[in-house]
Structure 1
């Protein structure tokens, strides 16, 4: 009875996420909403799809630079005064980008949430598009990129992407290069914001101790400050057919080995859950994974080694990485190829499947602990065209997955054997 009572109380203060719509300017804008009254907090994200670094077709780093400018407050108040005004009310507003999305997030106490929304509206109406703000952002960005020239993981990772997606926007570093950042001007930023921060690309996520009906009018008012714009489908980029090894010589004490290959799968693929299990066993599962066992435990070639599949609307590829001694580079590279070849040929064992099921099912609560995690999961389900609750149904499929079906799936994906390598060595 105590357990039942507790569940009933929790049901009153936490509700599963739902999808609603706000109709304005001839659009039906999706709103992902989850009520959680355990703490007097509220958060909202304006998520603009097909607006991240995938749109940097003219100047690499433009999306991230635009997000950084939007973090510089309003033209009227400037960066410092705007930040102080938010801090005095315990309000947080920030902008960030991914490959496919541009996100503006606002959060704070329930009692000041209306004020927080007012500040968001003010920011959208009067962003700090000034030469001073741009120069500040350029200086910090160029400084960061200069430091990353000696971050050889960053260097090798970017080199691998340039090989896998040669000739496309995905070949460029999302933060840009020192040269591309120097070339970005205010007109570029304004054009990016005008084209991408538009209501036709908008999905809203709201969570916390707030009711959607209480803030709907305020949200509509904010949406109406945005141009309608045009929404286009995300372009998909395939890994190039040519396999290539790129070796970059640097003053380094160890070798950085990054590898990648095509992975023939889409976000709509009904077998994605099998890929999740397979790549966990191969290299995403840390200790106990094939990569770690063969490369670290048995041969002592690296402290850690990973491999995973990346599947999104814009791309699908297999990749991994490790660091090794300079003199062990060729052996490590050979071992990676052997481990992947053995995996594709013979699949996994009954014990590996059982361990992976136990981990993925048992660790599920940790992936939905926070409001941010839950909203993000629901957003991804909606964004990928899946029905709400897809993640829970996927776990059920994992629980029921048979060894023969998983191994048949692995053998079908021989394309991951066609690996390219990006290596940084002395």
Structure 2
């Protein structure tokens, strides 16, 4: 019955919080800074509507810090931290999580190693201890380690024939050939085979440190109790990690078109060029403009021209992709081989039209109305809210960001939107990777190998 309780209670808690945001997004939910007796900081949205505690946390670094020749180390660590810790082997650890309706999971992105935690308040003490053990005393026993390794390798082997995965890996390796961003964050079958227990432990000890940690908590916990929990769970981690030595980088090989032949009826197209970082003063303007071009789903220009008017593709999109050390504008579509040339031509035309003309006043107002009105819908559950608290800290947005965010969108003017559009979109610098048998597309250079 407990597993069913955990399913229902987070929904009710999330619903209550969502109602608060919808009613008065900025004022109804208070974000509080909590500092533990040991000096560990977290941001908290306290809510006692339901007996649920959700926590998201992340360490700066991520897969970009994988050792040379052992890409996939962070990803493999994320998959094994909850496979046994302290006195509990994998089976016993997983059984305790299930029996007590506790969720602990980890994930590794290029710039972040993150964790997710959720528990019923009545099981909080045992949940905190299991979380602490997974972070500070993981076992890395042979059976779960080899099982996870095999699962990762099976997934990687599957991706070797998946057009979307091939297009993505090729594009990133082309852009960042000599940088960690160009390596596949999940690794390769060869690199994953080379990762040892010692590699996982070394990454854990050097990269998961308090000076890189950001924490967001939502739910049935007081600031005082949270402070005690923070010390209990995290205080045994190293105070400082090794210096992060990942260079700033701009995408290379701009303007190139690559074709990777695959005998499939529909080609996958991935494309893009340099973008704007999250801390760029023009970020919010670029965000609104990109919503109009390709980020707004059914409301975007790309959707209107490529799908709605001509039925060339089911999906077509563009979005901003800022990282710690680079920034991109990404786009893509998938369409029948004989229609790739027409679809790509239209995408380039809309890219160029946005650069030369910018949005109209009506498009800008519609975008601002949607982006401000839909903002509360992001708070659909407690983990998402906790994740936003983490993101606010990572990006230095300030604890009052939830109050101010919509004002940043509202402040975008038509003049600014036209200027940023002209500076951001550069169709002549668009790098394009097509996987399939496209008709009418000529590659400008051979595709690089996708291994890493």
TM norm. shorter chain > 0.5: yes
Superposed, 1:15-414 pairs within 5 Å as 15-22=29-36, 24=38, 28-50=39-61, 52-58=62-68, 59-74=70-85, 76-230=87-241, 232=243, 235-240=247-252, 242-263=254-275, 265-414=276-425
SS of the equivalent of 2:114 reads strand
Distance 1:330 1:15 in 2: 49
CA contact (8 A) 1:344 1:413 kept: yes
Root mean square deviation of aligned Cα: 2.2
Distance 1:147 1:215, change over 3 A: same
Task: Tell me the CA shift for residue 178 of structure 1.
Answer: 1.3
CA contact (8 A) 2:392 2:399 kept: yes
Deviates more, 1:242-251 or 1:112-121: 242-251
Distance 1:212 1:335 in 2: 54
> Which portions of structure 1, spanning 4 or more consecutive aligned residues, are displaced by more than 6 angstroms?
none
Distance 2:36 2:227 in 1: 8
CA contact (8 A) 1:114 1:215 kept: no
What TM-score, normalized by structure 2, do the two folds share?
0.85
Distance 1:384 1:311, change over 3 A: same
Task: Tell me the CA shift for residue 190 of structure 1.
Answer: 1.2
What whole-Å deviation, never above 9, does each CA across 1:165-218 have from its counterpart, x for those lacking one? 221111112111112111211121111111112222222222211113124234
CA contact (8 A) 1:262 1:416 kept: no
CA contact (8 A) 2:211 2:240 kept: yes
SS of the equivalent of 1:327 reads helix
What TM-score, normalized by structure 1, do the two folds share?
0.90
Distance 1:392 1:410, change over 3 A: farther
Deviates more, 1:114-123 or 1:387-396: 387-396
Deviates more, 1:344-353 or 1:206-215: 206-215
Task: Tell me the CA shift for residue 414 of structure 1.
Answer: 4.5
CA contact (8 A) 1:277 1:398 kept: yes
Q: Which runs of 5+ in 1 are unaligned?
A: 1-5
Specify which structure has the bigger relative contact order, considering alpha-carbon pairs within 8 angstroms and separated by 6 or more residues. Answer: 2
SS of the equivalent of 2:185 reads coil
Distance 1:242 1:364 in 2: 34
